[in-house]
Each structure stands twice: as C-alpha cells, then as structure tokens.
Amino acid sequence: MTTPLDPSQAMRYSRHIMLAGFDLEKQERLLDSSILLVGLGGLGCAAAQYLVASGVGEITLVDDDVVDLSNIQRQILHGESDVGTSKCASAKQSLLQLNSQVSIHTIETRMDAEQLAEQLKKNDIVIDCTDNLASRNLLNQVCWQNQKPLVSGAAIRLEGQLFSVIPTKNTACYACLSHFFGEQNLSCSEAGVLSPLVGIVGSYQAIEAIKILTDFGEPLVNKLMLIDAMTTQSRVFELLKNPGCKVCG
C-alpha cells in the first residue's frame, strides 16, 4: 500500500502524473521510496537534485569529503560559500531548498561492507556516484548480496558511462563489466572532466532510479551506455553476464 498524495502534492507533481503510464500510482510509489546515494561529486549533485525535486520519499547522502574550490566547477549543489564545509551539509542545505518534504539523511564516513549492508536494509536502491573502481566494486558486491538494484555512473574527460544492475532479475552486474578494466583507474583530478557531462550522466542515473523504483519503462540492464561529449554521441552495447563472475556468476 502506498500513501495517497494530498492536493498540494498532486499539483506539485502534476507533470509526472500526466505522463502516460506514470500516473498517480507511480508518483505515490516514488514518494514511498528510499534511496542511498553514495558520492556527492558531480554525478551525485546532479542525480540528487532531480531525485529530490521529483519527490522521492527519503534519500541518504554519503560522502566523507569537504568542498574544495576545484569542485564547484561541476558539483552544482555546492557554491562558493561552501568551500571548506562538508559536502553532505552543503548538499543537504541545497536540496532542502528544492524540496523540504523529502527526508534527507547524511552519512559523513566511508562505509565498509558491513555498514553498507546495514544501510541497504533501509533503502530500496543504491545510486553509485563514486569516483573510483574499489568503491564501485564494493557497492556492486553489497547490492548483489542484498538483492538491491544499483545504478552506476561514471564520467571522466569527455566520456560518460551508465549501467544498471537488478539482482532480483539476475542481470549482469558491475563486476561482469569491471573485470575488463584491470587495474587502470584514473580519476578526474588526474585526467579532468567537462562540467556538463557529469550533469548528463547524473541526470540519466536519476532517470534510471525513477524507472526502477516505479517499474516504469525499460531500465538499462544487460547493456552499457557510453556517452562521448566530444562528438555529442552515445552508444549502447549489449553486456552479457560473465558466467565466471565472482559476484553474480
């Protein structure tokens, strides 16, 4: 049973509700959903603002970092006056300006597998907005063990990547993909990243999350989307499960 919308919510979310196939029922499901969003960099800032404005019920923001002057070129929940403050506090303040009805929790530590598993019990989905392979692999593993969906995004230079995992549908997992990468693991601080590209990938992550949470449309599972901002093109590749995958095989 979902909680019915009150009249002001029905007005606020009317542009969702009028979408064919979305309707009141999907919006109510969204309002009852809880999201664990890990990483408040460029991807996390973009994904969080659309998820909060869209009317999710609860969101838990995870980041142990403070805002640096070099972040605000693309991490748009943080402004000039936030430099030196925690990303969690800065993001929460900005998000509450967008939608004060969403319950916003913050965790300012880097969680281990056990702490993540504890959080997954309270959340319906994980949005991976981290910036390194070790964190992505850990989130994937814990999501698979707890059978919770994962939306993974990445952006570096002018290249973006998007991928969703739904363990209950036995889709390919992030490890099926990441074993191709080997140890190569560049970060934006080493390679750079074009600001609006993180907005595109983060917005796609919000779209994926909304679709998976409400069972609307077709999520990007068993497929990998690569975005090339240099040529403004995207391509989607089939991604088969790796039968020898250490996580999902």
C-beta of 143 vs 213, nearer to Zn ion: 143
Structure tokens at 157: 């230079």
* 187 close to 239: Cβ distance less than 8 angstroms: no
* 191 close to 157: Cβ distance less than 8 angstroms: yes
Smallest gap from residue 68 Cβ to Zn ion (A):
34
Smallest gap from residue 107 Cβ to Zn ion (A):
26
Binding residues (CB under 5 A) for Zn ion: these are 173, 175-176, 245, 247-248
One-letter amino acid at 148 equals K
Buried b (16+ CB within 10 A) or exposed e, 133-167: bebbbbbbbbbbebebbbbbbbbbeebbbbbbbbb
Smallest gap from residue 176 Cβ to Zn ion (A):
4
Collect all residues with Cβ–Cβ distance below 8 Å to 116 and sequence separation of at least 6: 138, 139, 142
C-beta of 24 vs 245, nearer to Zn ion: 245
C-beta of 150 vs 229, nearer to Zn ion: 150
C-beta of 21 vs 243, nearer to Zn ion: 243
* Rounded-to-integer distance, Cα 96 and Cα 77, Å: 11
Residue 233 CB burial class (10 angstroms; 0-12, 13-18, ≥19): exposed
Assign 156 to helix, strand or coil.
strand
C-beta of 43 vs 176, nearer to Zn ion: 176
Smallest gap from residue 173 Cβ to Zn ion (A):
3
Smallest gap from residue 160 Cβ to Zn ion (A):
21
Smallest gap from residue 106 Cβ to Zn ion (A):
30
Collect all residues with Cβ–Cβ distance below 8 Å to 203 and sequence separation of at least 6: 46, 47, 50
Structure tokens at 161: 């990547």
C-beta of 155 vs 176, nearer to Zn ion: 176
* Rounded-to-integer distance, Cα 65 and Cα 81, Å: 16
Smallest gap from residue 25 Cβ to Zn ion (A):
32
